[in-house]
């Protein structure tokens, strides 16, 4: 299977952590970044990793790490506007995640939606930095070698394969 061959090659290149995603109950969609009550509860997401994985990499709670993947070796979102957004987030080391896996919740790390200043008809609307906190991880997901502008796709369900990317973390 393609995924198995890719995993084997990625592991040889030092990509040894499986990236998974999930949704936090208090921040379920990209639009909830504008809900300040919810942001008060959970202002940003984290790179969740097992304490043993963090210790093996010399990482402690709160360290900033960049997520690097085989199809995104720069570890950044290329927005095409000359302002790439780094895929950098805070480590949260926990016992409750399987060793060899990192998890990043979706719905954080906006680079628009009011998180940066916008000028409309000559009037600049100031940024609200609260909307841009955290990390958006989709650009780290492995892309399909045959259609490199999209992630691997589940051939049965047709959805993005959110659990088939090996990554490494680098302390920033």
10 Å CB burial of residue 143 (0-12, 13-18, 19+) is: middle
Tens of each residue's pLDDT in the chain, 172 residues:
455 666 677 777 789 999 999 888 877 776 787 888 888 888 899 999 999 999 999 999 999 999 999 989 999 988 888 889 999 999 999 999 999 999 999 888 888 888 889 999 999 999 998 888 899 888 898 888 888 777 888 778 877 777 778 999 999 9
* Strands 101-105 vs 85-86: parallel, antiparallel or unpaired: unpaired
What is the spatial distance between Cα 172 and Cα 166, in angstroms, rounded to a whole number? Answer: 19
Q: What are the helix (H) ranges across 22-128?
A: 36-41, 51-56
User: Is residue 38 within a helix (H) or strand (E), and if so which, with residue range?
Assistant: helix 36-41
Q: How many residues does the chain have?
A: 172
**pLDDT (0 to 100) of residue 4:** 60
List of domains in the chain: 2-171 (2.40.40.20)
DSSP letter (8 states) at residue 63: -
DSSP letter (8 states) at residue 39: H
SS3 content of the chain, % helix, strand, coil (to 5): 20, 30, 50
Alpha-carbon distance values, 56 to 49, 51, 67, 96 (Å): 11, 9, 16, 17
End-to-end CA distance of the chain: 35
């Amino acid at each position: 299977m393609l995924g198995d061959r890719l995993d084997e090659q990625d592991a040889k290149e030092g990509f040894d952590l499986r990236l998974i995603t999930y949704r936090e109950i208090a921040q379920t969609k990209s639009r909830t970044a504008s809900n300040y009550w919810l942001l008060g509860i959970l202002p940003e997401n984290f790179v969740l990793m097992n304490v043993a994985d963090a210790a093996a990499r010399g990482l402690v709670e709160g360290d900033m790490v960049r997520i690097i993947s085989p199809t995104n070796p720069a570890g950044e979102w290329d927005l095409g506007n000359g302002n790439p957004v780094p895929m950098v987030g805070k480590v949260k080391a926990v016992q409750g995640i399987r060793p060899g896996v990192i998890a990043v919740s979706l719905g954080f790390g906006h680079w628009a939606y009011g998180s940066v200043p916008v000028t409309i008809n000559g009037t600049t609307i100031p940024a609200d930095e609260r909307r841009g906190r955290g990390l958006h991880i989709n650009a780290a997901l492995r892309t399909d070698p045959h259609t490199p502008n999209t992630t691997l796709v589940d051939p049965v369900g047709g959805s993005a394969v959110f659990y088939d990317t090996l990554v490494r973390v680098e302390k920033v």
